[in-house]
């Protein structure tokens, strides 16, 4: 297989400022930048808010998403880098 026939895996990035990243990518007109924005499943936002209301502790979206995945609440395709172990695990 030559380099020209290999498919490169799209690299996504996680951000706490999801809306800002999304709108910035749209405004830039760069479709590649837009495709790299990872937008967590809506349940991640709700669960994080509920966790904050209960505990008073604000945690990162990536941590909440990963925890929900490990608990079986999200599928691998819903999570950014599902196989990557985080430092807090």
Tens of pLDDT along the chain (89 residues)?
444 444 445 555 567 888 898 999 999 999 998 888 889 999 999 999 999 999 999 999 999 999 999 999 999 999 999 999 999 89
How many domains does the chain fold into?
1
Asked, for residue 2, whether it belongs to a domain, the answer is no
Asked, for residue 13, whether it belongs to a domain, the answer is no
Asked, for residue 44, whether it belongs to a domain, the answer is yes
Asked, for residue 37, whether it belongs to a domain, the answer is yes
Which residue in 70, 66, 10, 74 sits closest to 37, CA to CA? 10
How far apart are alpha carbons 73 and 13 in whole angstroms? 21
Expressed as residue numbers, the domain containing 40 is 18-78
DSSP reduced 3-state for 20: helix
Asked, for residue 40, whether it belongs to a domain, the answer is yes
Beta bridge partners of 13: 37
pTM over 0.85: no
Burial per residue of 60-69, b for 16 or more beta-carbon CB atoms within 10 angstroms, e otherwise: ebbebbbbbb
How far apart are alpha carbons 61 and 33 in whole angstroms? 20
Asked, for residue 71, whether it belongs to a domain, the answer is yes
Asked, for residue 83, whether it belongs to a domain, the answer is no
């Amino acid at each position: 297989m030559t380099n020209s026939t290999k498919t490169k895996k799209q690299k996504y990035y996680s951000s706490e400022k999801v809306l800002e990243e999304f709108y910035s990518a749209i405004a830039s007109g760069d479709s590649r930048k837009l495709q790299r924005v990872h937008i967590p499943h809506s349940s991640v936002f709700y669960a994080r808010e509920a966790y904050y209301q209960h505990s008073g502790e604000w945690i990162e979206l990536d941590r909440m998403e990963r925890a929900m995945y490990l608990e079986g609440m999200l599928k691998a395709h819903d999570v950014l880098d599902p196989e990557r172990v985080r430092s807090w695990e």
